[in-house]
């Protein structure tokens, strides 16, 4: 009897271990095939870009000269690196930041416990998130005495004033992902494509997450003539140059750059400041915080524009407002704070609408425009919830309806100077 049991148990264990190893082999095999298909698709895409995109320039456009001013904002901290050379947040400057930005195990814990994304019907998306096609006439000829802002979805914003056209975190791809085969898809088509933009003088990038820096968009914009100047936080220049994106200038937090038109066109110098904020970076499992993240302030003597990019709530907003003066218009992120079970993961890195309004008040911004919402479902809060919560908190805190508002996708708004 005992031997019978032993024989059955042995057979079962051999069977199970064989099945296990077959499953492992199948999984590994499928993984390899999937990886190969992905690599071929991406390589094909890269090659097709490389073949028809114009050759890169090594020099900025001839009519532009610039001067980098280092350490110009003593009230704001410089970036800090940890022992491995990765950027870290100093607890004294960012008391609510995570000491360690999320590692693989933390990301896995979030992914395996977060609720499913709410699904919106096509009809609801069309009704609640309409896309306006920006007027080419308005983009080509912005009013001379106003600041013109166009929201292009998520964190992509085009600002135009005093004859300068500055673009922030542009993305025109369908997915914000390492590949266009997988990853979050847009709820709506982008309001316009890269070739429909007016000429662009400067492109500012906040950080390397896929919803802010898209390789295909970057290469398409880099092929335009005259070529734009790219301003990026530390660590991104070599990656962009290897990707055939040239005219890239890297700045650290509290560095400033002054860009001057030397062609004879009369326009005021444009001053751009690279600013600290509370976030992290990664494009794969191994490059976490090897590059820096930043917010930006962009100004001429008449107007100033603050671009928050992607940030958790932190004391820097008040310091920026005091050091650089209150911006005329601020673009402040209000979404991707997550549904309740995942808030623990996002809280240090993304603001909810209540924190976004506090950021608006800390900066003492005259007007603010909401970004980082209603475009890709990156977290499990309902895509329309950030807009509703923003309206509620503005009302509760006694702010006028226009003080901090959500534009429609593709909507253009003009602001008077003070
Ligand atoms: Zn991010
Ligand atoms: Zn983001």
Tell me the CA–centroid distance for residue 307 and ligand 2, in Å: 13
* Cβ neighbours, 10 Å, residue 80: 13
pLDDT at 34: 59
pLDDT at 103: 74
Tell me the CA–centroid distance for residue 261 and ligand 2, in Å: 32
Higher pLDDT, 285 or 300: 300
Tell me the CA–centroid distance for residue 209 and ligand 2, in Å: 6
- Could you give the C-alpha distances from 148 to 161, 167, 413, in angstroms and in order? 6, 12, 6
User: Sorting pLDDT into bands at 50, 70 and 90, what band is 12?
Assistant: low
Residue 323's nearest CA partner among 31, 21, 36, 72 is: 72
Tell me the CA–centroid distance for residue 157 and ligand 1, in Å: 16
Tell me the CA–centroid distance for residue 207 and ligand 1, in Å: 7
Q: Report which bound ligand comes closest to the CA of 169.
A: 2
pLDDT at 106: 80
Worst-scoring range by mean pLDDT, 15-19, 70-74, 279-283? 15-19
Tell me the CA–centroid distance for residue 242 and ligand 1, in Å: 22
Tell me the CA–centroid distance for residue 280 and ligand 1, in Å: 7
Tell me the CA–centroid distance for residue 96 and ligand 1, in Å: 17
CA 154 remoteness from chain centre: 8
Tell me the CA–centroid distance for residue 212 and ligand 2, in Å: 6
Tell me the CA–centroid distance for residue 377 and ligand 1, in Å: 13
CA 283/CA 118 separation, integer angstroms:
26
* pLDDT tens by residue, 162-186: 999 999 999 999 999 998 889 999 9
Tell me the CA–centroid distance for residue 49 and ligand 1, in Å: 26
Q: Report which bound ligand comes closest to the CA of 281.
A: 1
Tell me the CA–centroid distance for residue 140 and ligand 1, in Å: 31
Phi and psi angles of residue 160, each rounded to the nearest 5 degrees, phi first:
-140, 120
The answer to whether residues 153 and 125 touch, using CB atoms and an 8 Å cutoff, is: no
64-416 in CATH: which number? 3.60.15.10
* pLDDT tens by residue, 81-115: 998 899 999 999 999 887 666 777 888 887 778 88
pLDDT at 342: 87
Tell me the CA–centroid distance for residue 310 and ligand 1, in Å: 5
Q: What is the mean pLDDT of residues 253-275?
A: 90
Q: What is the mean pLDDT of residues 384-392?
A: 97
pLDDT at 388: 97
Q: What is the mean pLDDT of residues 58-71?
A: 72
Tell me the CA–centroid distance for residue 309 and ligand 1, in Å: 8
* pLDDT tens by residue, 127-139: 999 999 999 999 9
pLDDT at 46: 45
**Mean of the per-residue pLDDT values of the chain:** 87
Q: What is the mean pLDDT of residues 144-155?
A: 97
Report whether pLDDT(54) > 60.
no
Worst-scoring range by mean pLDDT, 21-35, 222-236, 351-365? 21-35
Tell me the CA–centroid distance for residue 335 and ligand 2, in Å: 9
The answer to whether residues 133 and 191 touch, using CB atoms and an 8 Å cutoff, is: yes
Q: What is the mean pLDDT of residues 219-244?
A: 94
Tell me the CA–centroid distance for residue 252 and ligand 1, in Å: 18
Report whether pLDDT(1) > 60.
no
Tell me the CA–centroid distance for residue 137 and ligand 1, in Å: 33
CA 268/CA 338 separation, integer angstroms:
42
Q: Could you write out the DSSP letters of every residue in 184-202? A: PBPSS--SS-GGGS---SE
Report whether pLDDT(358) > 60.
yes
User: Sorting pLDDT into bands at 50, 70 and 90, what band is 6?
Assistant: low
* Cβ neighbours, 10 Å, residue 19: 10
Look at residue 42 and give its three-state secondary structure: helix
pLDDT at 207: 98
Torsion of the alpha carbons at 153, 154, 156 and 162, rounded to the nearest 10? 80
User: Sorting pLDDT into bands at 50, 70 and 90, what band is 199?
Assistant: very high
* Cβ neighbours, 10 Å, residue 54: 11
pLDDT at 19: 56
Tell me the CA–centroid distance for residue 9 and ligand 2, in Å: 53
Residue 218's nearest CA partner among 233, 234, 198, 236 is: 236
The answer to whether residues 339 and 352 touch, using CB atoms and an 8 Å cutoff, is: no
Report whether pLDDT(352) > 50.
yes
Report whether pLDDT(68) > 90.
no
Q: Report which bound ligand comes closest to the CA of 212.
A: 2
CA 25/CA 27 separation, integer angstroms:
5
Tell me the CA–centroid distance for residue 349 and ligand 1, in Å: 8
User: Sorting pLDDT into bands at 50, 70 and 90, what band is 47?
Assistant: very low
Q: Which residues contact 358 (CB under 8 A, 6 or more apart)?
A: 313, 317
User: Sorting pLDDT into bands at 50, 70 and 90, what band is 43?
Assistant: very low
Report whether pLDDT(293) > 50.
yes
The percent of residues above 90 in pLDDT, for the chain, comes to 69
Tell me the CA–centroid distance for residue 154 and ligand 2, in Å: 8
Which pTM was predicted? Answer: 0.86
The answer to whether residues 333 and 211 touch, using CB atoms and an 8 Å cutoff, is: no
Tell me the CA–centroid distance for residue 278 and ligand 1, in Å: 10
pLDDT at 137: 97
CA 112/CA 282 separation, integer angstroms:
19
Report whether pLDDT(154) > 60.
yes
pLDDT at 13: 57
Domain map (residue ranges) of the chain: 1-52, 64-416
Tell me the CA–centroid distance for residue 398 and ligand 1, in Å: 30
């Amino acid at each position: 009897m005992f031997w019978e049991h032993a024989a059955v148990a042995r057979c079962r264990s051999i069977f199970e271990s064989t099945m296990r190893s077959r499953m492992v082999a199948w999984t590994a095999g499928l993984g390899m095939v999937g990886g190969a298909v992905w690599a071929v698709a991406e390589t094909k895409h890269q090659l097709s870009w490389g073949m028809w995109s114009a050759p890169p320039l090594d020099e900025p456009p001839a009519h532009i000269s610039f001067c980098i001013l280092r350490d110009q904002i003593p009230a704001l901290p410089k970036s800090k690196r940890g022992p491995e050379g990765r950027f870290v947040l100093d607890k004294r400057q960012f008391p609510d930041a995570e000491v360690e930005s999320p590692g693989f195990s933390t990301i896995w814990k979030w992914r395996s416990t977060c609720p499913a994304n709410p699904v919106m019907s096509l009809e609801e998306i069309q009704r609640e998130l309409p896309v306006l096609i920006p007027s080419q006439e308005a983009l080509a000829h912005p009013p001379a005495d106003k600041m013109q802002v166009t929201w292009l979805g998520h964190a992509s914003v085009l600002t135009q004033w005093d004859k300068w056209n500055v673009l922030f975190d542009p993305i025109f791809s369908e997915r914000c992902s390492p590949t266009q085969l997988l990853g979050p898809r847009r709820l709506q088509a982008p309001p316009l494509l890269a070739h429909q933009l007016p000429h662009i003088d400067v492109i500012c990038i906040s950080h390397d997450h896929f919803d802010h820096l898209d390789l295909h968009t970057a290469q398409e914009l880099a092929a335009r003539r005259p070529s734009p100047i790219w301003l990026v936080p530390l660590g991104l220049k070599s990656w962009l140059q290897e990707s055939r994106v040239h005219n890239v200038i890297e700045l650290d937090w509290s560095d400033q750059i002054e860009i001057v038109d030397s062609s004879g066109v009369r326009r005021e110098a444009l001053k751009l400041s690279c600013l600290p904020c509370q976030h992290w970076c990664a494009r794969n499992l191994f490059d976490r915080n090897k590059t820096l993240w930043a917010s930006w302030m962009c100004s001429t003597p008449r107007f100033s524009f603050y671009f928050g990019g992607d940030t958790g709530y932190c004391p820097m907003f008040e310091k920026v407002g005091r050091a650089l003066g209150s911006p005329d218009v601020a673009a402040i992120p209000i979404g991707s704070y997550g549904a309740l079970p995942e808030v623990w993961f996002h809280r240090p890195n993304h603001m909810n609408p209540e924190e976004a309004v506090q950021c608006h008040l800390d900066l003492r911004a005259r007007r603010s425009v909401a970004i980082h919402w209603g475009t890709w479902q990156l977290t499990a809060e309902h895509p329309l919830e950030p807009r509703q919560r923003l309206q509620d908190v503005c009302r509760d805190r006694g702010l006028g309806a226009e003080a901090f508002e959500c534009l429609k996708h593709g909507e253009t708004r003009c602001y008077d100077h003070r």
